[in-house]
Structure 1
Amino acid sequence: MSLLGRRLLAEFIGTALLVCVVVGSGIAAQQLSAHDVGLQLLENSTATVFGLGILILTLGPVSGAHFNPVVSVADWWAGRRAGTGLTTPDLAAYIGAQVLGGIAGSVLANIMFDLPAVQISGHHRVTSGHLVGEVVATAGLIAVIFALARTGRAALSAVVVAAYIGSAYWFTSSTSFANPAVTTGRIFSDTFAGIAPASAPAFIAAQIIGAAIGFTLIGLLYPGPVPAENIVTPNPS
């Protein structure tokens, strides 16, 4: 398999398993704690923190462990002049693998819990507060990732990024989707973690705005990119 093929496979698998963790733990939480929404969120967020950290450690050396189109776009943008990061064709391929992986992850979670494989969520989430929450969650995520990269601490990404997402489950009103591919995948499960199709475009728009804000903030705080951002520059071996 070519190097790009390995990267795309890693992005597909990583995004699929991330969504499977989010949706599957949401289903389990509903079943185990049917009458306590706070406990359901605790169970869901805890599983996501551990799952995301493991996926970053496992697949990061192959693809950089983006699992998120806005991370891939930020990497492409940061490296476009110096020739680091993703090329434009690679960016398009990464996003395609991530979106398909997100959908596959929901389907897999549904099947594991003996639910119809393909569902369409009826969980409408759009309020002004939720959209502000998505802007904040995504801006913070991009800022954390690039701050680590630009200060030579990318090796801490598995722990720090997972910890940030876990905290953002609780301090944002939207429970921190912060990822267009995950948002798209969660359309396909009518469960605790799902999102209705009508709500997804607004969430994705808020995520794009948040990513731009986060990247702008990093440019102000850390104006000099290192030669290789190391966000996503995988080990070619």
Structure 2
Amino acid sequence: MAGADLPRRLAAEALGTGLLVATVVGSGIMADGLTDDRALALLANTLPTGAILVVLIVALGPVSGAHLNPAVTLVFALRGDLRAGTAAGYGAAQVAGGIAGSLLAHAMFALPVLQVGTTVRSGSGQWLAEAVAAFGLVFVILAGLRHRAEAVAWLVGLYITAAYWFTASTAFANPAVAVARGLSDTFAGIRPADVPAFVAAECAGAVAALWLAGWLLAPAASRSAAARGAPGGH
């Protein structure tokens, strides 16, 4: 875990999540203003998001770990890598930073700063998509840390770039981003009433990834010991 003191770690999480959301919302506004082609607009929203994730994780990872996501923080708390109080602080900083990033994006494009999302994103397909998006994100992080930690920033950026397109929800995969996008009536927005189900699905997917990674990525010696102790083991 990063070695900075807690105030600096919280500031890094707020700053990073704010810049992430400003990128998501701002690139969506820009894309929506430049083209009527929805597929092209989504592509223009996707690429900056994947790129900024690589940048933020490389820049802020040494300070706070660059979670930038309460679901990721939840997983590291459940792993015992973060104390409960620190994890709660991370989550609060991420949500606050994300909201600030959404407001900043509106201000940069001379839109009303305070908005409420009206885009309906609801239904079982959307919820399943968010669970899958968060599951994949957390699994990629844990697998990357296990096998090639220096590649995690690229793995995350590339995964989210792909997940924008293979999930029905366009892969929010982040409770802080979902909350912040609920305060934006733009291309990237979501109706606030739909946010709680997104957050629940994201957290469920993240915890499922933690469970699977704990088994699948366990060192060979640990798997062998578990097999010997299990019924039918040799």
Q: What TM-score, normalized by structure 1, do the two folds share?
A: 0.89
Aligned counterpart, 1:12: 14
Residue segments in structure 1 that go unaligned for 5+ positions in a row? 80-84, 226-237
Partner SS state of residue 79, structure 2: helix
Aligned counterpart, 1:47: 48
Q: Offset of 1:210 from its aligned partner?
A: 0.6
How far apart, in 2, do the equivalents of 1:44 and 1:207 lie?
A: 21
Q: Offset of 1:154 from its aligned partner?
A: 1.4
Q: Find 1:178's aligned residue among 173, 191, 211.
A: 173
Instruction: Output one character per residue of 1:41-67: Cα deviation in whole Å (capped at 9) or x when no partner.
Output: 000000101111111111111000000
> Would you tell me which structure has more helix in proportion to its own residues?
2
Partner SS state of residue 190, structure 1: coil
Instruction: Output one character per residue of 1:148-205: Cα deviation in whole Å (capped at 9) or x when no partner.
Output: 1122x11111111000000000000000000000000111110000111111011111
How far apart, in 1, do the equivalents of 2:219 and 2:138 lie?
A: 16
Give the aligned length: 217
Letter in 1 for 2:10: L
User: What is the 5 A alignment of 1:24-103?
Assistant: 24-33=26-35, 35-79=36-80, 85-103=81-99
Q: Offset of 1:224 from its aligned partner?
A: 4.6
Identity between Structure 1 and Structure 2 (%): 51
Q: Larger Cα Rg: Structure 1 or Structure 2?
A: 2
Aligned counterpart, 2:100: 104
Aligned counterpart, 2:124: 128
Q: Find 1:158's aligned residue among 153, 168, 173.
A: 153
How far apart, in 2, do the equivalents of 1:184 and 1:62 lie?
A: 24
Of structures 1 and 2, the one scoring higher in RCO (CA 8 A, sep 6+) is 1
Instruction: Output one character per residue of 1:191-228: Cα deviation in whole Å (capped at 9) or x when no partner.
Output: 00011111101111111111111111101201359xxx
Letter in 2 for 1:67: L
Partner SS state of residue 192, structure 2: coil
Letter in 2 for 1:69: P
Deviating 4+ runs (over 4 angstroms): none
Aligned counterpart, 2:218: 223
Partner SS state of residue 95, structure 2: helix
How far apart, in 2, do the equivalents of 1:150 and 1:100 lie?
A: 30
The range that moved more, 164-173 or 51-60, is 51-60
Letter in 1 for 2:16: G
How far apart, in 1, do the equivalents of 2:207 and 2:61 lie?
A: 23
Letter in 1 for 2:73: S
Q: Find 1:22's aligned residue among 21, 24, 41.
A: 24
How far apart, in 1, do the equivalents of 2:99 and 2:219 lie?
A: 37
User: What is the 5 A alignment of 1:137-216?
Assistant: 137-151=133-147, 153-216=148-211
Instruction: Output one character per residue of 1:13-58: Cα deviation in whole Å (capped at 9) or x when no partner.
Output: 000000000000000000011x200000000000101111111111
